[in-house]
Each structure stands twice: as C-alpha cells, then as structure tokens.
A and B are shown apart, each in its own frame.
Chain A
Amino acid sequence: KQEVTQIPAALSVPEGENLVLNCSFTDSAIYNLQWFRQDPGKGLTSLLLIQSSQREQTSGRLNASLDKSSGRSTLYIAASQPGDSATYLCAVAKRDTGNQFYFGTGTSLTVIP
C-alpha cells in the first residue's frame, strides 16, 4: 500500500520568506503527484500536478519538484504572503490503481505579517 508522509506537520514563517514543504511516498511506481491547498472548512484547491515523467512544474510563486526514484516531492513557495496561510496536501496516483489517489496528512502553514 502507498504511504504518503508530509513533514513538518506545521510551519510558521515571517512574511516574505521563501519556504519548502516536503512530501515523501513509499512506492515509486506512480502516475502523477498533485499538490493541493485547503483553507479551514473548505474543499481542496489544486495547485500543481507533476506527471511521473516530469521533474518539476511551476505556477506563479509556486514550484513543485518530483524525484520519483527517491520517493520525494517538494513544494517551494517564494516570497510568502499572509494569504498563503493554509494547509498544503500532496497526493499520488499509483500505477496499478491509476485512478486512485493517496493523500498525505498535510502541512499547516502560517505566514506571519
């Protein structure tokens, strides 16, 4: 079974700082990895999706990388803002269950003005 881990569980940074969120997974046979943002009491918003053949994806101040062989992905947030405060989750889709996603427990980010 695919296990997905996100460390740290919580992170607090001052505004303007660059930061990195980590996601690790146990089975490297994946189709893709997707990063989400969740605000309190809300659904998940898709941020970035990296296909298994890709090394990274960028959207605005966000950059996600994927190292399949080591089972790791990072989400880099540049010049953090208070509006970035949320929980960030990663999810992977395994090759043998292509339509089923496995989620990490998330990293709760607080950006202090």
Chain B
Amino acid sequence: DGGITQSPKYLFRKEGQNVTLSCEQNLNHDAMYWYRQDPGQGLRLIYYSQIVNDFQKGDIAEGYSVSREKKESFPLTVTSAQKNPTAFYLCASKGTGIYNEQFFGPGTRLTVL
C-alpha cells in the first residue's frame, strides 16, 4: 500500500522545546517537501529536498531544520527559535521529472502550550 505517512497526528510542545515531525514515503520518490498551513492562508514551503543528502530552504525556513539521510525519510525539526510554531504541517513527495504530481501525507497538527 503505497503512500506517505506522517507522525504523530497531534503534537503538543512547551515553549522552548525542540520537536521532530516524522515523514516517510514508500513511493520511491526523489523529491520531498515540508509545508506549513495556517488558517486562511495557503501552503508555505519550509524546506524541500530533491535527492538524498541535499535540501534547500523554502520561503519560511527560519526556526526549522531538516535532514535527508534516506530516500524514504525527511524529518522536520521545529526548534525553539521558531517564534510561532502552532500550525498544521504537511509533508509531500514527487517523482523524478518535472511533470509528475505532488502527493501529500495526512499532516501533523502542532500546538505550542
């Protein structure tokens, strides 16, 4: 059953803590993405990776970090430097080739207490 999984579904964090969101895909896709979605706003790109051991900053990378050690996995760490981390986080992947579709995971809702 191919797809993208994200865990956990809900995450609560105290101020000053770092947290890591998991994203795994078994679609054999090279490219993976992290987006942030806030109410009434479109998706904003945090980081993306086109290949293992390589990633690029998106529009709102400050306060976030990523790694891409395996093709299947692209974890996102929300650090204490992120001033307003409460949001819905979406992971996506895309196959090689410019005309391929982007597929999304079910999302993680992060709430800072």
Interface residues of A (CB under 8 A from B): 4, 31-32, 34, 36, 41-46, 49, 51, 89, 91, 93, 98-101, 103-106
Contacts and interface: CB of A to CB of B under 8 A. Distances in A.
A105 B40 CA distance: 7
B81 interface: no
Contacts of B90: 43-44
A32 B48 contact: no
B105 A99 contact: no
A44 B41 contact: no
A34, A43, A49, A101, most chain B CB atoms within 10 A: A43
Nearest to A6: B42
User: How many B residues touch the partner, as a band?
Assistant: 20 to 34
Interface in B1-32: 4, 6, 31
| Dominant secondary structure of chain A at its interface with chain B | strand
9 contacts: A36-B104, A42-B107, A43-B6, A43-B90, A46-B102, A89-B43, A103-B43, A103-B44, A105-B42
Contacts of B41: 105
Contact of A103 (B42, B50, B101, B103): B42
A49 B101 CA distance: 7
Contact of A44 (B31, B45, B104): B104
Contacts, number: 58
The 8 nearest A-B residue pairs measured at CB: A43-B104, A103-B42, A44-B104, A103-B43, A105-B42, A98-B98, A43-B106, A31-B98
Nearest to A48: B101
A41 B4 CA distance: 16
Contacts of A43: 4, 6, 90, 104-107
Interface string B72-96: 0000000000000000101010100
A45 B104 contact: yes
Contact of A93 (B35, B98, B103): B98
